[in-house]
Amino acid sequence: MTNSIGEIRDADFLFVIGSNTSEAHPIIAMEMKRAVKRGATLVVADPRAIWMSTIAEKHLHINPGTDVWLLNAMAHVIIEENLIDEEFIKNSTENFEDVKEAVKNYTPEEAEKMTGISAEDIRWTARKYATTKKAGIYYTLGITEHTHGIDNVYALSNLVLMTGHLGKPSAGMNPLRGQNNVQGANDAGATPVFYPGYQKVDDKEVQKKYEKSWGTSLSPNLGLNLNEMMKTAGNKIKAFFVMGEDIVLSEPNVLKLEEGLNQMEFIVIQEPFINETTRFADVVFPSGVFAEKDGTFTNSERRVQRVRKAVEPPGNALADWEILVRLANACGANWDYKNPAEIYSEFVKDTPKFSGISHERLDTEIGTGGKTGLQWPCENPSETGTKYLHENGISRGKGLFQAVSFEPSPELPCEEYGLLLSTGRTLYHYNAATQTRREEGLALKQSEAFIEIHPKDAKKRGIAHKEMVEVRTRRGSIEARALYSRQVRPHCIWMPLHFAEARANVLTNDVGDKITGTASYKICAAEVFKLDTKDHSHDIFPGAFFFEESPELEKELS
Amino acid sequence: MKLKVNGQFVNFSEGETILEVASKVGAEIPTLCHDARLNPVGACRSCLVEVEGSRRLVPSCYQKAEDGMEITTENDRIERHRKTLFALYLTDQPETREQAEPHKTNEIFEFAERYEAPQNWGKMENIREDREDRNPYVNFEPETCISCARCVRYCDEIEGVSAITLADRGSKTTISTVDSLSLLDTTCEMCGGCIDVCPTGAMGEKIPLTKNAKHERELEKVRSTCNFCGVGCQLELNVDKEANDGKGQVVKVTSPPVGETTNDGNLCVKGRFAYEFINHEDRLTEPLVRGEDGQFYPTTWENALEVAAKGLLGVAERHGADSLGFVSSSRCTMEENYLVQKLSRAVFKTNNVHQCAAT
C-alpha cells in the first residue's frame, strides 16, 4: 500500500477492484464503511456482488478477466475529457504518450461490449476518480491472479499516474496483502530474484555484498519462482523443503502437482499440523504457531509489528526459526542466533530501507503515525517511519507509464465446459484452513464446501438449490454443494478454496502470469453435473452475504 | 482555542468534546456508554461535569468544548451525583460482584467501588427476558444490561451489519435480534465487537464461560500480531500461565485500546475467536521420519535433523544445487523467511526460494 490503513477513513473516493474486502480484510472494510458513512463515494468493480457492493454508489458487475478493458477505457475518458494532472505527468512521470496512444481505441462503448459495464458507468467512474482529490485504489487477488495480472496492475497504476493521485494522504495505489506476512516475507528476500530488501540477485555488487556478509560464495543464477518450482516438481526439482504451506491444497492444478511430488527424491515439511501435503514427506518437523514464538510480521501498509511468545509449543515442537538454525547447522553451517532480534539486526545491516528498525525500538517506542509498529522505509533510528510513499517525489525518480493491451484469458468457457469458475476466500476460514477448520465455532458457521451458481444455469442442468453436484474441469473433478446465488453472474460459478475434501485447486489452471508466475486462480472453464444423491436438506451458511432464492426471482425465471 | 479544566489551561481544536479535552490533562471521568469510535449519545450520565455558568451538570462525552469554558471534573456535587448514579445502577445488577463478572470486569461494580457508592439500596427484580442463543461465541446476560446501547451502536456504526437491536420497553429494555433469531441466522458476522464494548458483561464471550476460564485479572496479556490476513491487527493474547502443565494456554483474545494500533480496537471473527487451534489435540509434538514400511515414526530432533540434512545434501550432490526448491511461508515471521532464503542461498547455493504469497 502506498497509503496507510488509517488514511482510508478520510478518503473521498474509493475504487475497490478485485477485492472482497469485508471477507478477506474485515478490518480494512470497517475503515471503508466508516468513510462511506462520512460521505465518501465507494465504487466496487467485481464479477460477484459482495457485501461492499451493497453500500457502494455503483457496483460495476464486470465480466471476469476483462479488467484491462475497464481500466483502459477509464484512462481513455480521463484523457479525452482532459481530466489529467498535466503538471504531475510532466514533472514526475515518463512514457505518458505511449499510454495515450494505447488507450485510444478503448472507448467506453467498446468496453461495454467486453466488460458488461455500461459506457455511462465507466464514464461516471472515470470522471469521479479523476476529479476527486482524495481518491484511492484498493485491489487484491482479483486483479493479480490472472495470466494478465501484471497488465491489470500496470493499467491501474496508469490511472494513478495520469491523475497524480499519489504521494498524498488517502490518495494512492493500495494492494491489500492477503496473508499476515506477505510483505515481510518479500522484504526478507524469500523470492528467487531478490536478496533481502529487494536487491537484485543478478546484480554482481549485491551478490558480492552478501558473499562478504555471509562469508561464502553465492549462486549468480536467478531462481525458479513458486509456479515454476511446482510445475517442475519431480522433474527438474528433485527435493523440496516446505515451511508453513499446504501446497497440495493451495497451489493450482494439484493433481498434476501430486504426480510430481510422487516422483520427488526427498521432501522435508515443517508444520504445526499434519496436513494434506505431509503424506508426501520423508521428514516432518513439528513447528510452533504464532503464539509460541518471537519475531515480526509486516502488514499491508508496510508496518513492521512484533509477534510475541505467549505460550510454549506442545511436546517437543519448536519455533520455526529454531528449527531452521538446527537444520542449517546439521547441513554444515555454523549459525548462532540466540533470538529473532539478532536475526532482525543481521537483516537490516545490509538493507538500508529498514536500517532504522529494530526489535528494541518496536518494543519500546510508539510507532509511525502514533500507532504501534514502524512503517518502512525507515532508514535510521531517529526516524519514525513512512506513513505514505512518494511524498517527496516518486522513489524511482519518475513514475513509469506502461501501455497495456487486452489479452483474453487462456481458458474460457466452451461447449464442453460451459461455465467460468473463479475461486476465493470467505470470512470464516483462512486459506488451507488447517487452523480455522479446527475451530468449533467457525465450523458451525461454515462447515462444508459449496459452489455458487446462478439459478438460470442450475435449472438448465436440473440442479436444485443445496443439491450435491460434481464440478469438473480439464484437470479434475470434485463434489460440492450447489447454492443458487445471484451474487455470481450467469455462466459464472464461484467456490472457496478452504476445503480439503473438495479442493478447488484440483480444478484451477496452473498457467501463470508471464512475469510474476502468479497462477490464474480466477478464471478457468468448468462444467457442473447433477449428482444422484437425495441430500438437499442440509443447513448451510454459505458466507457473510448471500442472495437466497426469492419468489420474485422464481417468477422472473419461469 | 483554550479552556480551563480544574483550573488548568488546555488548548484544543474545534470539534473536540469536553471529555477529550479533559483527558489531555489526565482528568479521570467515568464513562459507560462512551466509545471514541462511536457517535456520542450521552445516555448513561456517568460523565457529567460542571461547566461554569451552566445550571445543570453536562455530559462531557456529548458536549463540544468551547473557547473560554471553565470545567470542573471533581467536586462535592459531582461526587454526590456519581455515588447516587452508580448506587442506582447497582440495584439493577446481580447480588454480588462474583455473580456479575465470571471472567470479565463489570464496570458498574468497578465504578461503584471507586466512587464509594452505597451498595445497600436493595435490588430490583430482574424482568428482562432471558435468551438462549445457539451461536458459538456471544453469550447474552440480559440481567446485567444497562441499555447503554454501545453494542448496538458498534454493530451499526462500525461493523455496519446492524444484527442486534434494543428490544422491549421501559425497565424491560435489553439487547436482542430481529424476531429474537439466533445470531447465526442474522446478518451478524461474529466480529465480537459487542462483547468488547459491553461495560457489564450483558454481552459476554461464550468460550471462556463454557470452559471455566479464570477471571481476566488472573490472566497475563501478551501483545502480538494476528496471524491471519494482511491487515496486521494487534491482539492481546490472554494467557493462563499455569494451564497446560505450566506451558500456558491462550484462553481469550482481546483488542488493545482504541487509538493505539492500526485496528483501532477492532477485530474480526478469526482474530478474536480463532485461537483454540493453538492448543488443539492434533498439534504435532514430535519430529516424524518415514520408515521403510512407508509409515511415519516419531523420533528425536537429532535423528530427524540428520535424516533431513542427509536427504537434502544427497539430492544436491546427485543433481546439483538447482534441483532443490525452498518454499518459505508468508504465514511465518520475517526472521524465519530471512533464514529460509539464507539456508537456500548460503548453505545450498541455490536461488530457488519463494513463498506461498506468490500464488
CATH code linked to domain A182-375 = 3.40.50.740
Which chain A residues are closer than 8 Å to B249 by Cβ?
311
Question: Can you give the three-state secondary structure of A97-149, one letter per residue?
Answer: HHHHHHCCCCCHHHHHHHHCCCHHHHHHHHHHHHHCCCEEEEECHHHHCCCCH
Determine the Cα–Cα distance for residues A375 and A354; give it in Å rounded to an integer. Answer: 9
Cβ distance of B224 and A193 shorter than 8 Å: no
Rg (CA), chain A: 24
Which chain A residues are closer than 8 Å to B324 by Cβ?
237-241
Per-residue pLDDT tens over the stretch B215-244: 999 999 999 999 999 999 999 999 999 999
Asked if B354 contacts B341 with a C-beta cutoff of 8 angstroms, the reply is no
What is the structure's pLDDT at A544? Answer: 42
Nearest CA distance, B289 vs chain A (angstrom): 5
Q: By CA distance, what is B334's nearest residue in A?
A: A184
- Whether the pLDDT of residue B128 is over 90: the answer is no
Determine the Cα–Cα distance for residues A431 and A250; give it in Å rounded to an integer. Answer: 7
Q: By CA distance, what is A330's nearest residue in B?
A: B309
Task: Kindly give the residue spans of alpha helices, DSSP state H, lying in B237-350.
Answer: 269-273, 301-319, 334-342
Angle between helices A119-131 and A67-80 (to 10 degrees): 60
Which chain A residues are closer than 8 Å to B319 by Cβ?
238
Q: Which residues of chain A form CATH 3.40.228.10?
A: 5-176
Residue located via cell numbers 480463532: B274
Asked if A302 contacts A370 with a C-beta cutoff of 8 angstroms, the reply is no
- Whether the pLDDT of residue B26 is over 60: the answer is yes
What is the structure's pLDDT at A293? Answer: 97
Nearest CA distance, B182 vs chain A (angstrom): 12
Q: In this structure, which topology does domain A5-176 adopt according to CATH?
A: Dimethylsulfoxide Reductase; domain 2 (3.40.228)
Cβ distance of A189 and B341 shorter than 8 Å: yes
With cut-offs at 50, 70 and 90, classify the pLDDT of residue B170. confident
Asked if B233 contacts B225 with a C-beta cutoff of 8 angstroms, the reply is yes
Question: Among B230, B267, B353, whose Cβ lies nearest the Cβ of A180?
Answer: B230
Burial class (CB in 10 A: 0-12, 13-18, 19+), B150: buried
Q: In this structure, which topology does domain B126-210 adopt according to CATH?
A: Alpha-Beta Plaits (3.30.70)
Determine the Cα–Cα distance for residues B161 and B63; give it in Å rounded to an integer. Answer: 28
What is the structure's pLDDT at A151? Answer: 96
Determine the Cα–Cα distance for residues A293 and A296; give it in Å rounded to an integer. Answer: 10
A192 φψ region: left (φ > 0), alpha (ψ -120 to 50), beta (else) = alpha
Cβ distance of A27 and B158 shorter than 8 Å: no
Nearest CA distance, B270 vs chain A (angstrom): 7
**Domain residues of chain B, as ranges?**
2-74, 126-210, 213-273, 288-358
What is the structure's pLDDT at A517? Answer: 87
Q: Name the nearest CA neighbour of A269 among A280, A258, A255.
A: A280
Which chain A residues are closer than 8 Å to B356 by Cβ?
179, 226, 244-245, 247, 250
State the first-to-last Cα distance of chain A, in angstroms, to the nearest integer: 47
Nearest CA distance, B51 vs chain A (angstrom): 30
Cβ distance of B269 and A333 shorter than 8 Å: no
Cβ distance of B311 and A239 shorter than 8 Å: yes
Whether the ω angle into residue A377 lies within 30 degrees of 0, i.e. cis, is yes
What is the structure's pLDDT at B74? Answer: 96
Q: Please give the grid coordinates belonging to residue B234.
A: 494487534
What is the structure's pLDDT at B358? Answer: 59
Nearest CA distance, A398 vs chain B (angstrom): 27
Q: Give the torsion through C-alpha atoms of A230, A233, A235, A240, to 10 deg.
A: 130
Which chain B residues are closer than 8 Å to A445 by Cβ?
136, 184, 190, 269
What is the structure's pLDDT at A447? Answer: 86
Determine the Cα–Cα distance for residues B93 and B74; give it in Å rounded to an integer. Answer: 26
Cβ distance of A340 and B233 shorter than 8 Å: no
Per-residue pLDDT tens over the stretch B61-76: 999 999 999 999 999 9
Per-residue pLDDT tens over the stretch B309-352: 999 999 999 999 999 999 999 999 999 999 999 999 999 999 99
CATH class of the B213-273 domain in this structure? mainly beta
Could you say which of 2.60.40.420, 3.10.20.740, 3.40.50.1220, 3.80.10.10 is the CATH number of the domain covering B2-74? 3.10.20.740
Asked if B144 contacts B200 with a C-beta cutoff of 8 angstroms, the reply is yes
How many other C-beta atoms lie within 10 A of the C-beta of residue A433? 25
Chain B interface test: which of A325, A364, A435 (most B C-beta within 10 Å): A435
pLDDT string in tens for chain A (558-residue length): 999 999 999 999 999 999 999 999 999 999 999 999 999 999 999 999 999 999 999 999 999 999 999 999 999 999 999 999 999 999 999 999 999 999 999 999 999 999 999 999 999 999 999 999 999 999 999 999 999 999 999 999 999 999 999 999 999 999 999 899 999 999 999 999 999 999 999 999 999 999 999 999 999 999 999 999 999 999 999 999 999 999 999 999 999 999 999 999 999 999 999 999 999 999 999 999 999 999 999 999 999 999 999 999 999 999 999 999 999 999 999 999 999 999 999 999 999 999 999 999 999 999 999 999 999 999 999 999 999 999 888 888 899 999 999 999 999 999 999 999 999 999 999 988 899 999 988 888 888 899 999 999 999 999 998 899 999 999 999 999 999 888 899 999 999 999 999 999 999 999 989 888 889 999 999 999 999 776 655 555 554 455 555 556 566 555
Nearest CA distance, A133 vs chain B (angstrom): 23
Nearest CA distance, A25 vs chain B (angstrom): 6
Between the alpha carbon of residue B74 and those of residues B20, B119, B264, the distances in Å are 16, 22, 30
**Residues in chain B, how many?**
359
- What string of DSSP letters covers B244-259? TTTT-EEEEEEPPPTT
Q: Name the nearest CA neighbour of A282 among A265, A303, A258.
A: A265
Cβ distance of A310 and B224 shorter than 8 Å: yes
Q: Please give the grid coordinates belonging to residue A174.
A: 493500495
Within 8 A by CB and 6+ apart from B310, the residues are none
Q: Which residues of chain A form CATH 2.40.40.20?
A: 419-557
Q: In this structure, which topology does domain A419-557 adopt according to CATH?
A: Barwin-like endoglucanases (2.40.40)
Average pLDDT over residues B245-267: 96
Determine the Cα–Cα distance for residues A509 and A506; give it in Å rounded to an integer. Answer: 9
Asked if A452 contacts A487 with a C-beta cutoff of 8 angstroms, the reply is yes
How many other C-beta atoms lie within 10 A of the C-beta of residue B95? 8
**Helices and strands per DSSP (H, E), number in chain B:** 10, 16
Which chain A residues are closer than 8 Å to B224 by Cβ?
290-291, 306-308, 310
Buried b (16+ CB within 10 A) or exposed e, A187-206: bbbbbbebbbbebebeeeeb
Determine the Cα–Cα distance for residues A495 and A540; give it in Å rounded to an integer. Answer: 14
Residue located via cell numbers 491462550: B250
Q: By CA distance, what is A544's nearest residue in B?
A: B189
Determine the Cα–Cα distance for residues A263 and A245; give it in Å rounded to an integer. Answer: 20
Q: Residue B293 half-sphere exposure, CB side, CA atoms within 13 Å?
A: 3
